[in-house]
Amino acid sequence: MSFQPTFPGLFSPSQGATPVQPNAAQAAAPLPATQKQLAYAKTLAAKSKQPLPDNIAADRAALSKWIDAHKAPAPRGRFSEYPSSKQVGFAERIARLKRSEVPPECFRDRTLMSRWIDSNKPR
């Protein structure tokens, strides 16, 4: 026999669970930028010698778009399509758990490695 506590009126059968509705002021207000975002944006602004837009710290999404537009592109080189060391380590741990091997072609393409990880990671 198990004990099941009851909470009268919390979830009555006729009512069911009611979703939480934020009020209009909370739904319209954007989230403020994080300290790490601001520090990175200030570094980018100093490197590019461009000022940060006014009131950008009040909107996390707007600051993220500004950072994406002003950051340097990822370097393209001979090994840019190879998986990262973290991807390789994670894939090898999964393979050890499943007592299998990571296919050799996955070590030469980050997209293949990502797909292999997604299809084999423990759920």
Residue 15 has pLDDT above 60, yes or no: no
According to DSSP, residue 34 is labeled P
Could you give the 3-state DSSP secondary structure of residue 88?
helix
Q: Is the pLDDT at 36 greater than 60, yes or no?
A: yes
pTM score > 0.75 for this model? no
Residues counted in the chain: 123
Task: Name the nearest CA neighbour of 47 among 67, 62, 61.
Answer: 67
pLDDT in tens, 38-87: 999 999 999 989 898 888 889 999 999 999 999 988 888 888 899 999 99
Give the separation between CA 66 and CA 3, rounded to whole angstroms: 55
